């Protein structure tokens, strides 16, 4: 089977998860803290319900496939095809009522992300990619995604979810990026990468990401012509410290600053 064979099914996963999540959004819902440290790591009924729905659909349709999910762990992760699920990427925005969160669905083939989707059901947007191309579907339009050219960091708009999520050392290193960029903004989670793919942002720098935070976004950014690696320039699907850029020149400049 090819990636194209899976695209309609991924659309079903997005629709089912969105229908599960939306009744919880901007309501009084219970919030648990998964963190075992002082850092707040929220999870809601919506996170769990949406992942459970997607897992049921995957198991019914592709019982031989593996699943890696944020809320319910890993199953058959050594399978040739593995689904990587983050039911709500941006849970802190979700519980605050801000619509800058999304459901991340990735399909890995032999460890490599070959298809990814970010679905924002409240706004009605879907960003998808297969490394070769990327597409936006919204309430009023559908178009191909394309990163924009940016000659240098001094001309770039850069995003990170929050420097407070970084350890002290990485925060200081990230400061070099902020000092060199034309504009630095915070927030966004998965949306930052989608806006990079759409040509509105030039650079995204993050730390301590999990595989389910980034796997779906790699085929979208890459399909739009961008680059996603670790700070060391290695493949990013395992998570960790991540840098994504729309232009190879900005990516190269960022890597040099991050590794000084």
Binding residues for Mg(2+): 70, 86, 88-89, 213
The CA distances from residue 152 to 58, 219, 220, 226, 230, in Å, are 43, 24, 22, 15, 19
> Taking a C-beta distance cutoff of 8 angstroms, is the pair 187, 195 a contact?
no
Residue 202 contacts residue 246 (beta carbons within 8 Å): yes
Residue with token string 């995204």: 204
Count of residues in the chain = 260
Annotated binding site: 70, 86, 88-89, 213
CA 78, 79, 83: angle at the middle one, nearest 5?
100
- Beta partners for residue 84, in sequence order: 68, 106
Distance CA 29, CA 141 (A): 33
């Amino acid at each position: 089977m090819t990636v194209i064979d899976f695209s309609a099914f991924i659309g079903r996963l997005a629709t089912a998860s969105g229908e599960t999540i939306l009744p919880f959004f901007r309501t009084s819902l219970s919030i648990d803290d998964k963190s075992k440290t002082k850092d707040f790591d929220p999870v809601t009924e919506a996170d769990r319900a949406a992942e459970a729905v997607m897992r049921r659909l995957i198991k019914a349709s592709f019982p031989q496939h593996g699943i890696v999910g944020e809320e319910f762990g890993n199953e058959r992760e050594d399978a040739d095809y593995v689904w990587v699920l983050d039911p709500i990427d941006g849970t802190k925005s979700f519980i605050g009522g801000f619509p800058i969160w999304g459901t991340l669905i990735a399909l890995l083939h032999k460890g490599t992300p070959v298809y990814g989707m970010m679905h924002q059901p409240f706004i009605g947007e879907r960003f998808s990619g297969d490394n070769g191309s990327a597409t936006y579907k919204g309430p009023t339009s559908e178009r191909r995604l394309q990163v924009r050219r940016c000659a240098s960091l001094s001309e770039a708009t850069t995003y990170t979810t929050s420097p407070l999520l970084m350890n002290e050392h990485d925060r200081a290193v990230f400061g070099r990026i902020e000092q060199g960029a034309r504009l630095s903004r915070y927030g966004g989670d998965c949306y930052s990468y989608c806006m990079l793919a759409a040509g509105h942002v030039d650079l995204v720098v993050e730390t301590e990401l999990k595989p389910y935070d980034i796997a779906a976004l790699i085929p979208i950014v890459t399909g739009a012509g961008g680059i996603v690696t670790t700070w060391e320039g290695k493949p990013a699907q395992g998570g960790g410290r991540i840098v994504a850029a729309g232009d190879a020149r900005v990516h190269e400049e960022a890597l040099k600053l991050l590794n000084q």
